[in-house]
Amino acid sequence: MRKKVGIIFIVLAMLMFGLHFGTGTIIKFFSKSNPEVISDITHEEIQENNQREAIFQWDAITAIDSISVLKTAGPIDKDAIIGQMIIPELEIDLPVLRGLTAENLNHGVATLYSDVRMGEGNFAIAGHNMGSHNVLLNRLYDMPERPFDLYLHDKKTVYHYVIYAKLHTDQYAFQYTEQAEADRHGSPIVSILTCDRPYEEDQRIFVMAELVDTYPYTIPLELKPSEKTKKN
Position 232 scores a pLDDT of 62
pLDDT of residue 227: 83
Average pLDDT per consecutive 10 residues, the chain (232 residues; last block may be shorter): 56 48 74 93 97 92 72 88 96 96 94 97 92 78 90 98 94 93 97 78 89 97 88 63
Instruction: Tell me which residue of 136, 137, 17 sits closest to 70, measured CA to CA.
Output: 17
The Cα 71–Cα 69 span in angstroms is 5
**Side chain identity, residue 217:** Y
Task: Provide the pLDDT for residue 183.
Answer: 97
Q: What is the pLDDT of residue 65?
A: 67
Instruction: Tell me the domains of the chain and their CATH numbers.
Output: 2-230 (2.40.260.10)
By CB neighbour count within 10 A (0-12 exposed, 13-18 middle, 19+ buried), where does 166 fall? middle
Query: Which of 85, 229, 221 has the alpha carbon at shortest distance from 163?
Result: 229
111 burial class (0-12, 13-18, 19+ CB within 10 angstroms)? Answer: buried
Contact 77, 52 (CB under 8 A): no
- pLDDT of the residue at 1: 58
Task: Let me know: does 164 contact 50? Beta carbons within 8 Å.
Answer: no
Q: Are strands 122-126 and 189-195 parallel, antiparallel or unpaired?
A: parallel
pLDDT of residue 97: 98
C-alpha dist (Å) from residue 190 to 42, 193, 225: 23, 10, 17
pLDDT for position 20: 39
Question: pLDDT value at position 193?
Answer: 95
